[in-house]
Structures are given as structure tokens and as C-alpha cells.
């Protein structure tokens, strides 16, 4: 346990998981706020305007949490992963610098403009500011995904004699095909989070018979956007991700499925427990041949098992990787079912009276956060044991002069600070929801 690498990984894993609770919500909400403001502009309805104003307030809180927990992330690449930052900075420094100069300034400036107020700006300019804020937050997402895509599937670089990565072709690196697929998948997943949160608040108000007009529009946009985004997360974007993993990280695919032996007509496990010591999946309930089809578009395709790869290239935490992947897929499937049912009731005009459905919607909002987190854990645990896939191992990336005691100290500090902030954030959001939209009119 005095291996600093363990603590570097734990700290970074914790701070980035916690951080990403907020960007997924702000990116999702940004899209929905733009849609709400668009509806308000088109229909002139007060309900849409009030809904947009309410969600901008929640957006502001979430954005603030995203900013303060995001600032450490860029620094931690240097503090905890100095060898990684040194060797790859020549490449990924490009996208990280782009994020700062193109996305962050756009976001912070237009949030300041948005909060300047609709009354003083006029409806159209205010809509434009919301649009710019949306663009900024989604652009920021792209630069981070492009950075991550280089770690997953390095392209556009050259290796220098001293082991550092040099940029070879900027466009190839920035427009990494992996980044493109992962970005759409990730952004749709963020939209799912935003939609479930908006729908949950709409359902909660409806159940309490409060703020009926704003509740109605929140419910409507949350449910419809939730269905569209949930479907898109699975197909085509999730499927495309699966094929990329199969093509470029076959050992990861095997670990995600707890598959040890190779063979054709590979089944997809719905449930089961990977038993790495005995190299088998315990108590499997499987869908026959589905994995072969997902990975290679052919039900009879051969899917390699872990046994066909050298053990030193196996992901380091196969069990957690397996569960992350299955939790993501399982929840994603349920999201489609929930939102499809809710949309059906909405179309029939019965959703606001369907108490059982409203209860489900009101209580379902934590699960997209879990699914998003599980998705990222799948990507990042699946990347192990590499920092840059196939080229630089995680063990080579830590800071050479930072010891375990220092990292544990700061990890505990982050844990304490983030716990307090999280409690306060939840309390403030709960209070805003309790007070409803009218108070901020």
C-alpha cells in the first residue's frame, strides 16, 4: 500500500468521478435549456420561459460545482501524473489548451451574459447566450474526449528518441475516429442525465399538484428528450463503441464480458460473476451469439477470450470492469423502457394522472448518473494496464517525486471537502426544487 501509484489512481479516479457528476448534468441541461427557450420564443408561453429560468438557476449551481471540481483535474495531470504529462504533453497539450482557450472562455463569458438577465438583454439575445453556453459546454466535452481518445487509441503522433510523444498531424489527432464515436455516445448519455433530472422534477411537482404549468412542460420535454437520447445512447452510438473496442482493444472486450475462452457464436452475459482465479464466469445467464454480432456484425464470428492474450496485457481489474460494463448496459436498457412507457402515456394525454409512472420518473434520476459513471469506468478500466494504449503503461505515468503519504493526505482532503460540498449542493438544489419556479419569476 505504500506504492504511490495505487494512491495516484485512487485519487484521480475519485476526483474525476466526482467531477463528472456535474458536467454531465450541465451538458444535458444546457441542451434542454436551449430547447425550452426555443419553445418559449416560438410559442410565447410563460410556462416555457419560467421553466427555462428555473433550470438556468439549477444549471448555475451545477456549473459552479463543475468549475471548482474541474480546476483540479487539469492540475492533477501534472501533480500526480507528471511522467505522463511530460511524455504526452506535446500531443494532448493541444486539446487541453484548446479547451481552455476556446471552450472555457465561451462558457464563463456567456454564463455571465445569461445571468445578466432576459429583461435587460431581450428574449432573442438571451436565447443566443443560452445557445453559446450550450456550444461552450459541449465543445469542452469534445476536447476532453479527444484527449481521452488519444489514450484509448493513439493516432496523429510520433515517438521521439527520448520516449516522449510528439505531434505528427494535428488534424488526425483532433479528429481521431475514436473521439467522434465516443463523443456522440457520451453527449447522448449526458442528455439522458439532463432529461431524467428535468422529468423527475416535473413528476415530483405533478405528484404534489404544485406549479402545474411548469411541471407539465418539464415533464414533457424531459420524457421526450429522455426517450430520444436513451435510444441514441444504445443505438447506434453504444453499438459503435462496442465495435471500436472489439477492433482495437479485443482483450478489453473479453474482460468486459468475463470471457476467458475463444470461440465462435459468443454469447452476451446478462448476469454472472467473473471468477478470474478459475478463469470462468460463474452462474451465467446468457443471450446466445449476441456478442459475436455486436462486436463483428456476424452471429458466428469468433470472439477471442482472455486466455488468448498474454496475462500482462489483461486489464488490471477485470471484475470491476465486467460489472461496470454490465451496469451501464443494464441501466441503459431500462432507461429506454421507462422513457418509452412514459412517452406512450404522454402521447395519450394520461401521463399527468399516471401516478405509478410519475413515481418511477421522480425516483429514477440517480440512475443515469450511475450509468454514466459506469460507462466511464468501463472505458478507463478497460484501457488498463495502459495509459496510452499499447504504448505507455499506467505504471510508468506517476509522479516520480511524490510519495504515497503525500497523495493519501491530499486524497483524504479531497474526500472530506467534496463530501461537504456534495451535501450542501444537494440541500440547495432540493430547496430550489421545493420552492419551485415561481419564486424566481
**DSSP 8-state secondary structure symbol assigned to residue 210:** -
Site for other proteins in 152-181 (CB under 8 A): 158, 160, 164, 166-168, 170
Helix residue spans in 313-354 (DSSP H): 318-347
How far apart are alpha carbons 58 and 403 in whole angstroms?
39
Q: With binding defined as CB under 8 A, does residue 99 bind other proteins?
A: yes
Q: With binding defined as CB under 8 A, does residue 410 bind other proteins?
A: yes
Calculate the CA 311 to chain-centre distance. Answer: 29
Q: With binding defined as CB under 8 A, does residue 104 bind other proteins?
A: yes
Determine the size of the site formed for other proteins (CB under 8 A): 66
Query: Closest distance between other proteins and the C-beta of residue 186, in Å?
Result: 21
Q: With binding defined as CB under 8 A, does residue 271 bind other proteins?
A: no
Dihedral sign (CA 35, 241, 368, 23): negative
- Kindly indicate which of the ranges 20-28, 62-70, 205-213, 331-339 contains the residues binding other proteins, using the contact rule CB under 8 A: 62-70
Among the listed residues 29, 56, 85, 354, the single contact to other proteins using CB under 8 A? 85
How far apart are alpha carbons 28 and 23 in whole angstroms?
8
Query: Closest distance between other proteins and the C-beta of residue 85, in Å?
Result: 4
Among the listed residues 78, 122, 288, 366, the single contact to other proteins using CB under 8 A? 78
Question: What does the DSSP assignment read for 119-184?
Answer: HHH-HHHHHHHHHHHHHHHHHHHHHHHHHHHHHHS--SEEE-TTS-EEES-HHHHHT-HHHHHHHH
CA neighbor of 433 nearest in space, from 208, 128, 119: 208
Q: With binding defined as CB under 8 A, does residue 17 bind other proteins?
A: no
How far apart are alpha carbons 253 and 240 in whole angstroms?
13
Among the listed residues 43, 44, 46, 100, the single contact to other proteins using CB under 8 A? 100
Q: With binding defined as CB under 8 A, does residue 417 bind other proteins?
A: yes
How far apart are alpha carbons 319 and 282 in whole angstroms?
12
How far apart are alpha carbons 397 and 295 in whole angstroms?
31
Describe the chain by its helix, strand, coil percentages, rounded to 5: 75, 5, 20
**C-beta closer to other proteins: residue 107 or 257:** 107
Q: With binding defined as CB under 8 A, does residue 86 bind other proteins?
A: yes
**C-beta closer to other proteins: residue 27 or 253:** 27
Are 72 and 18 in contact by the 8 Å Cβ rule? The answer is no
Query: Closest distance between other proteins and the C-beta of residue 431, in Å?
Result: 8
Query: Closest distance between other proteins and the C-beta of residue 283, in Å?
Result: 44
Q: With binding defined as CB under 8 A, does residue 71 bind other proteins?
A: yes
- Kindly indicate which of the ranges 95-103, 191-199, 208-216, 217-225 contains the residues binding other proteins, using the contact rule CB under 8 A: 95-103
Are 37 and 21 in contact by the 8 Å Cβ rule? The answer is no
Query: Closest distance between other proteins and the C-beta of residue 417, in Å?
Result: 6
100 grid coordinates = 481552455
Query: Closest distance between other proteins and the C-beta of residue 439, in Å?
Result: 12
Q: With binding defined as CB under 8 A, does residue 82 bind other proteins?
A: yes
How far apart are alpha carbons 371 and 112 in whole angstroms?
31
Residue entry with cell 505531434: 167
Among the listed residues 395, 413, 423, 434, the single contact to other proteins using CB under 8 A? 413
**C-beta closer to other proteins: residue 218 or 410:** 410
**C-beta closer to other proteins: residue 140 or 237:** 140
Query: Closest distance between other proteins and the C-beta of residue 101, in Å?
Result: 3
Among the listed residues 5, 13, 16, 108, the single contact to other proteins using CB under 8 A? 108
CB 299: neighbour CB atoms within 10 A? 14
How far apart are alpha carbons 316 and 433 in whole angstroms?
42
Query: Closest distance between other proteins and the C-beta of residue 132, in Å?
Result: 9
How far apart are alpha carbons 343 and 332 in whole angstroms?
16
Which residues lie near other proteins (CB under 8 A)? 60-61, 64-65, 67-69, 71-72, 74-75, 77-80, 82-83, 85-94, 96-102, 104-106, 108-113, 115-117, 158, 160, 164, 166-168, 170, 399-402, 406, 410, 413, 417, 421, 424, 428, 431-432
Amino acid at each position: 500500500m505504500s506504492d504511490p501509484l495505487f494512491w495516484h489512481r485512487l485519487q484521480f479516479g475519485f476526483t474525476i468521478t466526482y467531477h463528472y457528476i456535474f458536467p454531465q448534468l450541465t451538458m444535458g441541461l444546457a441542451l434542454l435549456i436551449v430547447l425550452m427557450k426555443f419553445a418559449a420564443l416560438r410559442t410565447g408561453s410563460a410556462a416555457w420561459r419560467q421553466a427555462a429560468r428555473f433550470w438556468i438557476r439549477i444549471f448555475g449551481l451545477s456549473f459552479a460545482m463543475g468549475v471548482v471540481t474541474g480546476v483540479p483535474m487539469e492540475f492533477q495531470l501534472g501533480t500526480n501524473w507528471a511522467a505522463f504529462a511530460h511524455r504526452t504533453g506535446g500531443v494532448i497539450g493541444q486539446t487541453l489548451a484548446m479547451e481552455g482557450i476556446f471552450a472555457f472562455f465561451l462558457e464563463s463569458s456567456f454564463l455571465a451574459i445569461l445571468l445578466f438577465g432576459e429583461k435587460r438583454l431581450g428574449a432573442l439575445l438571451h436565447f443566443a447566450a443560452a445557445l453559446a453556453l450550450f456550444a461552450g459546454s459541449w465543445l469542452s466535452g469534445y476536447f476532453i474526449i479527444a484527449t481521452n481518445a488519444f489514450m484509448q487509441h493513439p493516432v496523429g503522433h510520433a515517438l521521439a528518441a527520448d520516449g516522449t510523444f510528439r505531434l505528427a498531424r494535428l488534424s488526425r489527432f483532433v479528429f481521431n475516429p475514436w473521439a467522434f464515436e465516443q463523443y456522440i455516445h457520451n453527449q447522448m448519455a449526458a442528455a439522458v442525465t439532463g432529461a431524467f433530472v428535468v422529468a423527475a422534477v416535473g413528476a415530483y411537482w405533478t405528484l404534489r399538484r404544485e406549479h402545474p404549468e411548469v411541471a407539465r412542460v418539464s415533464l414533457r420535454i424531459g420524457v421526450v428528450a429522455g426517450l430520444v437520447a436513451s435510444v441514441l445512447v444504445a443505438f447506434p452510438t453504444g453499438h459503435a463503441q462496442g465495435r471500436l473496442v472489439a477492433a482495437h482493444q479485443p482483450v478489453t472486450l473479453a474482460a468486459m464480458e468475463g470471457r476467458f475462452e475463444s470461440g465462435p457464436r459468443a454469447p452476451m452475459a446478462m448476469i454472472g460473476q467473473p471468477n478470474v482465479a478459475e478463469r470462468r464466469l460463474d452462474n451465467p445467464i446468457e443471450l446466445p451469439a449476441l456478442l459475436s454480432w455486436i462486436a463483428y456484425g456476424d452471429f458466428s464470428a469468433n470472439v477471442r477470450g482472455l486466455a488468448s492474450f498474454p496475462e500482462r496485457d489483461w486489464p488490471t481489474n477485470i471484475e470491476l470492469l465486467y460489472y461496470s460494463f454490465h451496469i451501464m448496459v443494464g441501466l441503459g436498457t431500462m432507461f429506454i423502457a421507462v422513457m418509452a412507457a412514459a412517452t406512450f402515456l404522454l402521447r395519450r394525454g394520461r401521463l399527468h394522472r399516471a401516478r405509478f409512472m410519475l413515481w418511477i420518473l421522480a425516483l429514477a434520476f440517480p440512475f443515469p448518473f450511475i450509468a454514466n459513471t459506469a460507462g466511464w469506468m468501463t472505458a478507463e478500466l478497460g484501457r488498463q494496464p495502459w495509459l496510452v494504449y499499447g504504448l505507455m503503461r499506467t505504471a510508468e505515468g506517476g509522479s516520480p517525486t511524490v510519495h504515497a503519504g503525500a497523495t493519501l493526505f491530499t486524497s483524504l482532503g479531497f474526500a472530506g471537502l467534496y463530501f461537504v460540498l456534495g451535501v450542501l449542493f444537494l440541500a440547495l438544489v432540493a430547496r430550489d426544487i421545493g420552492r419551485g419556479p415561481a419564486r424566481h419569476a
